[in-house]
Structure 1
């Protein structure tokens, strides 16, 4: 694994460490402002990854799948970051501090709408990530050095299409709560 691959792993670990630290400081140590500062550090992790990948490519390294995954990671982090933090915050409050609302499962039309909102976030991540990939492809301007970037962009295009079909299917066949028949 090259330096960018390791940096992706380190950034993902750092992302969750910063979130957990932020939640612990916020709810257990009761220092809400300091906890918020930790949570606000998450975009800095993306910047570090972006700089690392950029420097690696600037030095003439061939673009690899790791470089492409870095673009995907940044897109996903920007599009899903806030909702991931809210998800962790809700569960931390309920399961660790025994406060707040219990996370609930969604069913029926409510689930379908929620999943579709997730697909919209996926689309935003896709636009950001593929935008970065296309930018890198034009910046490097050497198709033999950017094949991995193009391959990941094509694969992600296929994946987002499949995710849209799944999203639409939930409006046709929404999940039901266990033990509830379709006649109710």
Structure 2
């Protein structure tokens, strides 16, 4: 436990990111509890609208930390990644949690099953497109932070994240749309099973 606290003391931005991620889920759970358990729809909307505020807090904290002379490091780049992916995937994560919370606590319909066949391929392409968009936003934030830092040597830690974004995009493509394209089709599996 002391090692964890020591790490956060040495890297206050890591604590901000961790608090942002925890805060994101706390706000979502509180918003859904207000909606379905307490029947407070307005309160629920206000709480769920706080999720972008958390992203803004992480961004502002990163800028302030760098402006105060902190040397750019891995954690500042991670803050940009958190921001990019939270902006793009935040709404769908809230929707995912909403369906499950409504089913569990408010008698809502069960979550839909994973799509199959062409619908699954479309979903994989859509998710990969969202990954590309998230990486694009992250790259934009990283470039802005790099311009703010100015010193080319110090900015290398931030620029070092750009190739990593390419790797994430390539892996997502390979394990998503490409995997689905090359996998046996659902109809083929059914016909194989029927032959046996």
Deviations 1:78-130 (A, max 9, x none): 10111010000011111232322333122222111111111111111111111
Residue aligning to 1:173 = 183
**Pairs within 5 Å for 1:21-40:** 21-40=30-49
SS across alignment from 1:89: helix
Q: Compared with structure 1, are the counterparts of its residues 23 and 3 closer, same or farther at alpha carbon in structure 2 (3 Å cutoff)?
A: same
Structure number with the higher helix fraction is 2
**Pairs within 5 Å for 1:10-89:** 10-89=19-98
Residue aligning to 2:4 = none
**Pairs within 5 Å for 1:92-111:** 92-111=101-120
SS across alignment from 1:128: helix
Q: Which runs of 4+ in 1 moved over 6 A?
A: none
Q: Larger Cα Rg: Structure 1 or Structure 2?
A: 2
Which deviates further from its counterpart, 145-154 or 9-18?
A: 145-154
Number of matched pairs: 183
CA distance in 2, matches of 1:138, 1:109: 43
State whether residues 84 and 134 of structure 2, in contact with CA within 8 Å, keep that contact through their aligned partners in structure 1. yes
SS across alignment from 1:146: helix
Name the TM-score, length of structure 2 as normaliser: 0.86
State whether residues 111 and 175 of structure 1, in contact with CA within 8 Å, keep that contact through their aligned partners in structure 2. no
For structure 1, the residue ranges without an aligned partner over 5 or more in a row are none
Residue aligning to 2:17 = 8
Residue aligning to 2:125 = 116
CA distance in 2, matches of 1:26, 1:149: 40
CA distance in 2, matches of 1:124, 1:140: 24
SS across alignment from 1:10: helix
CA distance in 2, matches of 1:182, 1:64: 53
Name the TM-score, length of structure 1 as normaliser: 0.91
Offset, 1:21: 0.3
Residue aligning to 2:140 = 131
SS across alignment from 1:63: coil
CA distance in 1, matches of 2:57, 2:191: 51
